[in-house]
Structure 1
């Protein structure tokens, strides 16, 4: 069964996109349309290509492969155009991702914000460190699993986060990242989000219960097998 294309990224659009030494400057992410095994696991494929080769290739398919009958609506992605925006991100603050003294200061700041602003108060984890949605590079979010050491299965080198795919671009816990055009300036906090499901979930995809799919690659040799983490 043909894999379903989820995304493709060109280095010309994302200058910091990690590329392979052989000149590949296009990354494509695919997913099998069906789940596998007793735990309903997903199977993904990462493909590196040279953009110039794909744009001038001969023998393109006259029509895309037929999409099989799917069980759930979120199995098939909604076509989207990406508009990359560069933002600063910071590590998830838990365990040894940051010095213990700094994590203590972050926790104290979070508590002070809640005391002053109530339930819509900003927090480090959701409003300052890691934005929701699809991301290239940056730091992984460990909201469900807690921080994990991800090492290459071939050479034991600590792996690098290539990209994160997420079903939702925004949620109640990260409303500060919502684009201005999708916010009501007369309201504050999560009440300011407008646009409904099309804004919150533009791709229509889901990545398991925890929603984040992290794709790690080996910095020593990008040809080594990538590692997939749901977190």
Structure 2
């Protein structure tokens, strides 16, 4: 069987992302790829993170006239829909569970959530969904741990705690995250998923899925960006 090309999932430049750390040797262009097939008895995905020098790629003497073709895929959500990135900087806060925050602060957050729900009903904005971490694709910030609970992610080469580089998600918005939904994409007279204007093309612009509707977190080593990255589905 001939070599199978990876599928490109994301590409972004350091010049467009405030605060993004450089890659190995000062690389300022990062690309994320995924093997189009699953592997092993647990149908695992394999990813590849590639750092490049933007200046060299933008002024390359030649490009492939016929790029590698992606093989026939089983499901439509395995091939990304081409999208243009429009970076927007927002403040995020840690997931409130386990030891991600002091226990006393988590208790205060839980009490605030309970009071809001008692006063305004179960659909009231809460810390986890509406104030801490936005849904969908994002660079930097804090990881969400909705499926697994908080995990320690350390570098396999030097044991340093790793830093979140990128989160890839299937949904850019859902019924439980109204505070992050752009005003132009919501109908204020409706609630839940019915309030999303534009349907799937707006809520799921990349058309991708990761695991069973989980987020893919890509971590890199802050001590040495050349150390191997780690992938976590959460």
TM-score normalized by the length of structure 1? 0.97
Whether 1:53 and 2:36 are equivalent positions in the alignment is: no
- Structure 1's unaligned 5+ residue stretches are none
Report if aligned partners of 1:35, 1:43 keep a CA contact under 8 Å in 2.
yes
- Contact kept, 8 Å, 1:74 with 1:205, in 2: the verdict is yes
**Map of 2:33 onto structure 1:** 30
Q: Distance in 2 between matches of 1:103 and 1:173?
A: 20
Q: Deviations over 1:133-160 (max 9, x none)?
A: 1110000000010001111001101111
The residue aligned with 1:15 is 18
Give the structure 2 partner of residue 101 of structure 1.
104
> What does residue range 65-144 of structure 1 map to in structure 2 within 5 Å?
65-144=68-147
Q: Please tell me whether the aligned partners of residues 144 and 210 of structure 1 are also in contact (alpha carbons under 8 angstroms).
A: no
2:231 to 222, 225, 228: 228
- Supply the distance in 2 between the matched residues of 1:96 and 1:66 (Cα, whole angstroms): 45
What per-residue deviation string (whole Å, max 9, x for no partner) do you get for residues 159-208 of structure 1?
11011011110112212211111011334555432221111110000011
Aligned pair count reads: 231
- TM-score, normalised relative to structure 2: 0.95
From 202, 207, 218, the equivalent of 1:204 is: 207
* Residue 51 (structure 1) shift: 0.4
Give RMSD over aligned pairs: 1.2
- Matching residue of 1:160: 163
Contact preservation (8 Å) 1:175, 1:193: no
The whole-number CA distance in structure 1 between the counterparts of 2:188 and 2:43 is 42
Q: Does 1:63 align with 2:70?
A: no
- 1:142-181 paired onto structure 2 within 5 Å: 142-181=145-184
